[in-house]
Amino acid sequence: MPYHRQAYAAIDLGTNNCRLLIARPSGDHFMVIDAFSRVVRLGEGLAQSGRLSDAAMDRALGALHICAEKLRKRGVHLARSVATEACRRATNGAEFIERVHSETGIRLGIITAEEEARLAVLGCHILLEPGEGPAMIFDIGGGSTEMVLVDTAEAVPRILDWQSVPWGVVSLTESIGPIELTAQARAAAYDEMRRRITEGFARFSERVGPARVAAAASGGLRLLGTSGTVTTLASLHLGLPQYDRSAVDGVIVPTASMREISQRLAHISPAERIAVPCIGRERADLVVAGCAILESIFDIWPAERLGIADRGIREGILRSLMAAGGLTTTSERSDRRVETTAGKTAAGSATA
C-alpha cells in the first residue's frame, strides 16, 4: 500500500480516559480518519487500595474492545498503545496489561512519566505562541501532572527540564476524600489541593526560576496546556453552550479569566457545577482538582496568556510512528530529535 494511504493508530489509556486516534499521513502532518474517547475512570479507588478495581478494569476493557474493532476495520498499518499513571502505580497494573492483550489483542506499554511528558510536547508544541526564550508546556492528567520547560529555538522544542507529580484530577480528588456541603469545607478542600500541588512542584519551581526571569526579559512568559481541565475552562471563557473542539483547540485565553473561572467553580456546590455548560455530571466532581492544579501552575509560570491544546499524547505517538514508518519531511525528521536533559528518549512502537 502507498505510504500516504497507510493508517496509523495511537491509544492512550489514562487514569480517567481511554482515547484512540487513527490517521493517515498528509504532507507534513496527518489526517484523522477515526477517533474514539470514553471516560473509564481506571484509577478509581487506586489512591485507597493501591490496585485497579475489577469494575474499573471492566470499564477500560469495554472501551479497548471498541478500539480493537476500529483498528481491524481501518486496517491499521502500525499502532502504539500506552498506559500511564494508573497502571504505573497499581500493584496489579502488569497483570491488567496481560489481560488486555489476552482479551483484545492490544499490547499496552506502560510508559514512564518522562516519556509521557515527551509525547505530550511532541503532540501539541505547534500551538505554542511564537516568541523568544524558554516556554512552559503542561499536561494535567487523571493520575499525574507534567510540567515541561522547553527551548523553542528549533522547529521542535528541546526539553530543558521537566517534572511529574502523582497528582491528577482523579488522584487529587480521591486523596482529599468526601467534602462536606458547606462553603467553608469547599474552600478548605481547595486550599489543601493547592498546597499539595505547590509542594509537589516546589523543587521544579525553584529550578526554573532563572528561565522564568529569562523568558520575561525575552518578551513575556509563554504557556501552553493540554488537558480536559484547560479545554473545559476555555469553553466557559468562550461562553460555548457545549464543547466544540474547533473553537477551543489553539485558542489563546487570558490567565486572569481562567483563574476567575477556577475560583468560581471551586466554591460553588456540586449541583451548581453539574448545571454549568461543558461540565455536566461527568466532570463535576473532578474539575475542582483540575482548577487547583491549574492555579498552582500559574503561580509557577505566571504568564498573562494560556494557549489551549485539545491534543497531546496520541498526536505525539502518531508523529513518532509516521516518522519511523517512512515519512521523510523535515518537520517529521525533527520530531525524532525531541530530547531531554538526560538524552534522547526512544519513541518505540508496537503492533496492536
The predicted model gives 21-29 an average pLDDT of 85
Beta bridge partners of 30: 25
Distance in angstroms between the alpha carbons of the first and the last residue of the chain: 19
Strand residues in the chain grouped as ranges (E): 8-13, 17-26, 29-39, 78-83, 108-110, 135-140, 145-151, 158-165, 223-226, 252-254, 305-309, 339-340, 343-344
Residues 184 and 133 sit within 8 Å (Cβ to Cβ): no
pLDDT (0 to 100) of residue 348 = 30
Cα–Cα distance for residue pair 211/282, rounded to 1 Å: 38
Average pLDDT over the chain, rounded to whole? 88
- Identify residue 242 by its one-letter amino acid code: Q
pLDDT (0 to 100) of residue 325 = 61
The predicted model gives 259-272 an average pLDDT of 94
In percent, the amount of the chain with pLDDT more than 90 equals: 74
Question: In which band, very low, low, confident or very high, does the pLDDT at 333 lie, cut at 50, 70 and 90?
Answer: very low
Cα–Cα distance for residue pair 292/93, rounded to 1 Å: 28
Comparing CA positions, the residue from 142, 146, 78, 145 lying closest to residue 107 is 78
Q: How many helices, marked H, and strands, marked E, lie in the chain? A: 17, 13
The predicted model gives 137-150 an average pLDDT of 95
Domains of the chain: 3-110 (3.30.420.40), 115-309 (3.30.420.150)
218 has a pLDDT exceeding 60: yes
Cα–Cα distance for residue pair 33/38, rounded to 1 Å: 18
The predicted model gives 105-122 an average pLDDT of 93
User: Higher pLDDT residue, 211 or 28?
Assistant: 211
The predicted model gives 58-68 an average pLDDT of 97
Over residues 269-284, the pLDDT tens digits come to 999 999 998 888 878 8
156 has a pLDDT exceeding 60: yes
The residue with cell 522564568 is 212
Q: Please give the DSSP secondary-structure letter assigned to residue 53.
A: -
Question: In which band, very low, low, confident or very high, does the pLDDT at 4 lie, cut at 50, 70 and 90?
Answer: low
Cα–Cα distance for residue pair 304/253, rounded to 1 Å: 9
Over residues 114-138, the pLDDT tens digits come to 999 999 999 999 999 998 889 999 9
Which residues lie closer than 8 Å to 332 by C-beta, 6 or more apart?
28, 319, 322, 323
pLDDT (0 to 100) of residue 328 = 32
308 has a pLDDT exceeding 90: yes
pLDDT (0 to 100) of residue 127 = 94
